[in-house]
Structure 1
Amino acid sequence: MRCAATVCAAMIYTALALAANAASPEVLRDLRSGDMRALVIHDTPRDVPAAELLDGDDAVHRLEDWRGRWLVVNFWATWCPPCRAEMPGLDRLEAALGGPGFAVLPVATGRNPMPAVRRFYQEAGLAHLPILRDPRQGFAAAMGVFGLPVTVILDPDGREVARLTGDAHWDGPEARAILDALLAQEDTDNLNER
Structure 2
Amino acid sequence: MDWKMLNMPATRLILAAAVAGVLAGAIAVYVRSAADGNTDRPGADVAAASCEAKTGQATAVGAAAKGAVAAMLAADPPQSLADLAFNDPDGKPITLAALSGKTVLMNLWATWCAPCRAEMPALDALQKEMGDPDFEVVAVNVDTGSDEKPLKFLDEIGIGSLRFYRDNTLGLFNELKTRSLALGLPVTLLIDAEGCLLAHMNGPAEWHTDDAKTLIRAAMHGND
TM-score interval, smaller chain: 0.7 to 0.9
Q: TM-score when scaled to structure 1? A: 0.77
**CA 71–84 in structure 1, closer or farther in 2 if over 3 Å, else same:** same
The percentage of aligned residue pairs carrying the same residue is: 30
Report the Cα distance in structure 1 between the residues aligned to 2:186 and 2:104, rounded to whole angstroms: 16
| C-alpha deviation, 1:156, in angstroms | 0.7
1:125 equivalenced with 2:177 (yes/no): no
1:69 equivalenced with 2:102 (yes/no): yes
1:83 corresponds, among 111, 116, 135, to 116
Local SS of the residue matching 2:144: coil
- Tell me which residue corresponds to 1:179: 216
Local SS of the residue matching 2:184: coil
Structure with bigger strand share is 1
Report the Cα distance in structure 1 between the residues aligned to 2:84 and 2:76, rounded to whole angstroms: 24
| Contact persistence 1:140–1:146 (CA under 8 A) | no
**CA 184–55 in structure 1, closer or farther in 2 if over 3 Å, else same:** closer
* Higher Rg: 2
**CA 146–29 in structure 1, closer or farther in 2 if over 3 Å, else same:** closer
| C-alpha deviation, 1:123, in angstroms | 1.2
Q: TM-score when scaled to structure 2? A: 0.67
- Tell me which residue corresponds to 1:153: 190
| Contact persistence 2:82–2:196 (CA under 8 A) | no
2:206 corresponds, among 152, 169, 184, to 169
| C-alpha deviation, 1:113, in angstroms | 3.3
- Number of residue-to-residue matches in the alignment: 165
Report the Cα distance in structure 2 between the residues aligned to 1:31 and 1:106, rounded to whole angstroms: 22
RMSD over aligned CA atoms reads: 1.9
Structure with larger RCO (C-alpha < 8 A, sep 6+): 1
Report the Cα distance in structure 2 between the residues aligned to 1:113 and 1:165, rounded to whole angstroms: 25
